[in-house]
Amino acid sequence: MSLLVLHLPPRPRLHPSRGEQPGADPAASVAELSYVLSPDGERIDESGRSAPALLPGRGRGTTSVIAVLCDSATSWHRITCPKAPPAKLRAALVGLLEEELLEEPENLHLALQPGAQPGDATWVAVTDRHWLQGQLQALEQAGLSVDRVVPGAVPADGPGHVSLLHAQTCAEAEASPDRGDRHDQLCLTWSHPLGVTHWRAHGTLAQRLLPRPLSQDLRLSASPAASSAAQHWLGQPLPIQNPAARLLQSVASGWNLRQFDLATGHRGTALLRDAHRELFGPAWRPVRVGLIALLLLQLLGLNAWAWLQKSQLQSRREAMTALLRSTHPQVRAILDAPVQMRRETESLRASAGRAGDNDLETLLQVAASAWPARLTLQTLRFEPGQLTLQSGALVNDDIQQMREQLRAGGWQVEGGDGRLTLRPPAGAR
């Protein structure tokens, strides 16, 4: 399944030199986004900046949309995962973090570390709820349904990772526009086992916050725009990490901040959407091709079988027509060969003076062969193909006995209340 990774811009911060109002639209910053389009989460097919309506891959059922926050948009707290039902888990988290939160809990969004188990030590990510909700709503209005929201940097399990970024990607630099040329400023993000530290790399104080000497296992990187300034500030060259590669690195962390009230719709709908994307992804392409080929073979097989059945039916009709012409050459127009054959045969039988199955003589002979000897016949009524007999002593057991005796020949026996009706086999009518 391909991934469309979007980098959400930093959350605007209030500053005395600006005229922002607290009620400003939180979604106004999604006019243009940095993006990465990857077929598998490792390779990069396309990257750049674009308006949401012009992003590549949007609208495809096989593309998962993931939003990445900037490093400074999330704060981190280490707690013991509470034992609470899902409906009350957020309230339990708020109770544990109440003294550590700097804002009202209703203004913050909380998310648990993937795989957190009750009673285990775990990380909780905290970000601005209204701002994140506004960003997601703006993307949805642009036709983008975000499946996951991941933080830009997460606490590291190993020695840690230090990233030096250009000031234009840092909310701290935007919050301090009066500090000279912000293009020469740096923002440092340090992911370590105790959390994520983010500050402006200005002067020597920030250098002293880093471990000295720098560990050989410590991963260092710098964005291309900040490489020269980062080398000058830190006093050593740094590997350059492309912003697109860093976005994919953030996606690989496995975090998903869409929890609690920001969870993606209903679970059943999400499962169906994930199954749809998985089914139409590259991994299932051989299965899809096989199913299409199987359906085509079935369609061809059904057409061939229908053609064969039609051919056999036509052959049988022609054989019946030929039999009727050879047996009764006086028949000119053949409309229904079986019916005409039966009618002509009955006509020959009547001409020869032989009784048929629908005649009185045949019906009387059949009735006499099974009629109970103790019964006396009172009335008799005959219609072509039907003989009705009546006797006051005739009971249901007698009718059932006659029915069993005549069933082998196909004769039909019905009756009740001292009356019995006899009919010839269905094919003889």
DSSP state string for 210-233: S-SSPPTT-EEEE-GGGHHHHHHH
Please tell me the predicted confidence (pLDDT) of residue 22. 46
Please tell me the predicted confidence (pLDDT) of residue 334. 84
Please tell me the predicted confidence (pLDDT) of residue 269. 59
Helix (H) / strand (E) containing 37: strand 33-38
Please tell me the predicted confidence (pLDDT) of residue 274. 61
- Cβ atoms < 10 Å from Cβ of 363: 25
Q: Which residues of the chain have pLDDT under 50?
A: 16-24, 26-28, 167-168, 171-183, 266
Please tell me the predicted confidence (pLDDT) of residue 55. 86
Beta bridge partners of 199: 188
CA separation for the pair 189, 167 (Å, rounded) = 12
Please tell me the predicted confidence (pLDDT) of residue 72. 86
Q: Which amino acid is at 107?
A: N
pTM of the model: 0.59
Quick one: tokens of 298? 């079935």
Please tell me the predicted confidence (pLDDT) of residue 429. 56
CA separation for the pair 224, 40 (Å, rounded) = 24
pLDDT single digits (tens) 286-295: 888 999 999 9
Please tell me the predicted confidence (pLDDT) of residue 290. 92
CA separation for the pair 62, 278 (Å, rounded) = 7
Task: For the chain, give every domain's residue range.
Answer: 2-280, 287-351, 355-428
CA separation for the pair 320, 322 (Å, rounded) = 5
pLDDT single digits (tens) 147-186: 899 999 999 875 556 676 654 455 444 444 444 444 356 7
Question: Hey, what CATH class is 2-280 in?
Answer: alpha beta
Three-state secondary structure call for residue 313: helix
Provide long-range contacts, Cβ within 8 A and 24+ apart, for 107-112. 109/133, 109/257, 109/260, 109/261, 109/262, 110/259, 110/260, 111/255, 111/256, 111/257, 111/258, 111/259, 111/260, 112/81, 112/259
Beta bridge partners of 188: 164, 199
Q: Which of 242, 240, 239, 182 is nearest to 48 (CA)?
A: 242
30 Cβ contact list (under 8 Å, min separation 6) = 8, 9, 52, 135, 138, 139, 142
Helix (H) / strand (E) containing 399: helix 396-406
328 Cβ contact list (under 8 Å, min separation 6) = 340, 341, 344
123 contacts 153 by C-beta, under 8 angstroms: no
- What CATH number should be reported for the domain whose range is 355-428? 3.90.1070.10
Quick one: tokens of 263? 């969870």
Please tell me the predicted confidence (pLDDT) of residue 39. 87
Q: Which of 146, 151, 188, 191 is nearest to 169 (CA)?
A: 188
Please tell me the predicted confidence (pLDDT) of residue 6. 93
CA separation for the pair 90, 82 (Å, rounded) = 10
CA separation for the pair 225, 147 (Å, rounded) = 30
Please tell me the predicted confidence (pLDDT) of residue 144. 85
Please tell me the predicted confidence (pLDDT) of residue 204. 75
Q: Which of 148, 120, 124, 127 is nearest to 136 (CA)?
A: 148
CA separation for the pair 387, 422 (Å, rounded) = 5
